[in-house]
Structure 1
Amino acid sequence: MLGTAVESFTPVGGGSICEARRARLDDGRTVFVKTRAGAPPGFFRAEAIGLERLAAAGDGVPVPQVLAHDERCLVLEWVTTGVPSAAAAERFGRALAATHREGADVFGSADGPGWIGSLDLPQGPWEHWPDLWAYGRLEPYLRAARKAGTVDKRTVADVEKVIAELPRLAGPAEPPALIHGDLWAGNVLWTETGAYLVDPAAHGGHRETDLAMLTLFGLPHLDRVLAAYDEAWPLAPGWRERLPLHQLHPVLVHAVLFGGSYGAQAGQLARQALRLA
């Protein structure tokens, strides 16, 4: 697949769904190899397409180069990580704004199946962002969490109210932004020169979604990232108050995958979002 033999494999830390290895090739290169036993058809193709879309975003946040992929694995350029700094965080904020400015033709994607973690991610496309969020992000995962028994009746009712109120809760309309789609701190790699993005669920979405996920799970020098972003591309008034609305989807995903306290947290976020109505 790479036109050269593999000299050695070394396991590396990474996500909980795929196995990650560092591979040394006979031609001297070091690459990152990601595999998943029983991966559904198109799983690695979707990630490769997402990385390539993000890579095309001009002055956007860089991503590892896709070297090869098939139904069994994804092979990427090896990225040597470093320690985050305030200056790198500011560069990341400006570059993330540039990635989002690249835009998309639709809300959702026309690139075929998508995933977030191990769960199917509805791709649409949709004409309006509230429809994507209601029927592609909140309703499917609320239904799955309800089936799994990880959300109570009050949470179900409150998330359903959010879905019904989305046109009023969404804030000023914006065109589709090219977003990472799963932007928690673990998918930001810090290097000596700045940040790289990995493991995307890239699609046309709302730019506040990426910022909300960074805020939800934390990031080094987050205040610097957000300030630099807002300076490069000012956010619409009220964006901080809308963070719970955008955080509701990833927390519902966690409720489906992990249970625990995530169901209760989803209810809290829904009630916070409804205060905007």
Structure 2
Amino acid sequence: MSVSPTQRVLDPAQVRRYLTASLGPDAEVESCGPLSGGGFAAVWWIRLADGRDVVLKVGPPPHVPLLRYERDMIGAEAHYLRLVAARAPAVPAPALLHHGRHPDLGDWLLMARLPGRTLWDLTQAGADVGPLRAEFGLALTALHAVTGERYGYDGDRASGATWRDAYTAMIDDMLADAADWAVPLPVPAYRVRELVARHAEVLDAVRRPALLHFDGWAGNVLAVDGPDGEPRLSGLVDGERYLWGDPLMDLVSPLLFRRVEDEPGDPLVRAYRTVAPFPLDAGVRRRLGLYRLYLYLLMTVEMPSRNITADSDPGRVELLAKLLGAELDDLAG
């Protein structure tokens, strides 16, 4: 797959410039290299001469077009990390060492590197990840205990005084991005708006803007071996897509391409409900469907900006078209 245009192409000399700008001229790089797995920012691991392991995350060049919700994503992650450190310290997240802005270097973060393998890798290797998923579910409850002052995204991005207003604004921005990038959708944009408006009243059940990570797929969950040799949660990373809203929205990415309401016995869902119980009634099911709609719409609309096409990744294109179409059909039905 082609490198995303949003990812700067770095080399060790450039990495040293970012390190000096972050920690001063005495900071020395012992070794470094790129980290894979993300499609937005350029991310490198660095071993410092003093033995510390850190991660450098660099935002897109200023001339690269972005989706509307992606404005100032590096700054958003810096704010998220400060929020978690101050108000949800039980949630394992990287320590923010520096957030920098520079006319030539752009926006970047320097963070402590958390140990561990991803939940994705462990699952692919056939490990027993049930206890790890349960830990992750409990960590989400701690994150969701943090309350914001408005719904939606921070900054000048889509938001609202109510969750219904914020969600509708988020959908509108995503459909505007789809138009800008000429992204084909299963139904016309006006039809998506009609279907959202038909069901939006269920969002009024949300009365508190909870802090949501919203990117908790298995590649952003880290684990290390515990004393018993079983994987234990060591980190939840990549918080740049955080927003304020319904805690149920944060259960969609951890069960990516699946349905929360169909898997109440999943260890994450079961553990989450022990602390923050919710019914699986018609209103909750409709809210979960709306949140999957937004996620699949986002994943579809972002593809051109990442250089993802039917030729470069036909499986992804076909899968998202099927999933997005299914959610729209459910709303229509």
TM-score bracket relative to the smaller structure: 0.7 to 0.9
Q: 2:187 corresponds to which residue? A: 154
Residue 208 and residue 5 in structure 1: after superposition, are their counterparts in 2 closer, same or farther (change >3 A)? Answer: same
Which structure 1 residue ranges, 4+ long, deviate > 6 Å from structure 2?
Answer: none
CA distance change for structure 1 residues 123 and 138 in 2, over 3 Å: closer, same or farther?
Answer: closer
After the TM superposition, which residues 1-277 of structure 1 pair with which residues of structure 2 at under 5 Å, given as runs?
1-3=22-24, 4-39=27-62, 42-58=72-88, 60-71=90-101, 72=106, 73-82=108-117, 83=122, 85-110=129-154, 112=155, 122-124=157-159, 126-135=160-169, 137-152=170-185, 154-170=187-203, 172-192=205-225, 193-200=232-239, 201-217=241-257, 223-238=266-281, 239-258=284-303, 260-261=317-318, 262-263=320-321, 265-275=323-333
Which protein shows a greater Rg?
2
SS in 1 for 2:23: coil
Contact 1:21 1:33 in 2 (8 A): yes
How far did 1:15 drift?
0.8
After superposition, the CA RMSD in angstroms is 2.7
Partner Cα separation in structure 1 for residue 332 and residue 92 of structure 2:
36
CA distance in 2, matches of 1:17, 1:153: 25
Aligned residue pairs, count: 263
Alignment-mate amino acid for residue 95 of structure 1: A
TM norm structure 1: 0.83
SS in 2 for 1:191: strand
The 10-residue stretch of structure 1 (73-82 or 148-157) with the greater mean CA deviation from structure 2: 148-157
Return the letter of the residue paired with 2:134: E
Alpha-carbon displacement from aligned partner over 1:72-130 (angstroms, at most 9, x marks no partner):
421111112134732222121112112101221211244x25xxxxxxxx243x11101
TM-fit CA distance, 1:248 = 1.1
> Residues of 2 paired with 1:197 and 1:274: CA distance?
35
One-letter code of the match for 1:23?
Answer: I
Percent of matched pairs sharing the same residue? 27
Aligned 8 A contact 1:10 1:22 in 2: yes
Preserved CA contact (<8 Å) 2:162 2:204: no
Gaps spanning 5+ residues in structure 1: where? 114-121
Q: Structure 1 residue 146: deviation in Å?
A: 3.7
Which has the larger displacement, 256-265 or 9-18?
Answer: 256-265
Report the Cα offset of residue 37 of structure 1: 4.4
Letter in 1 for 2:172: E
Conserved 8 A contact 2:199-2:286: no
Deviates more, 1:62-71 or 1:30-39: 30-39
| Distance in 1, Cα, partners of 2:37 & 2:186 | 35
**Secondary structure of residue in 1 paired with 2:187:** helix
Q: Which moved more, 1:226-235 or 1:240-249?
A: 240-249
Query: Deviation per CA, 1:152-201, whole angstroms, max 9, x where unpaired?
Result: 47353431123322432326233111111333222222333315221122
Q: Which amino acid aligns with 2:152?
A: G
Matched residue of 1:154: which SS? coil
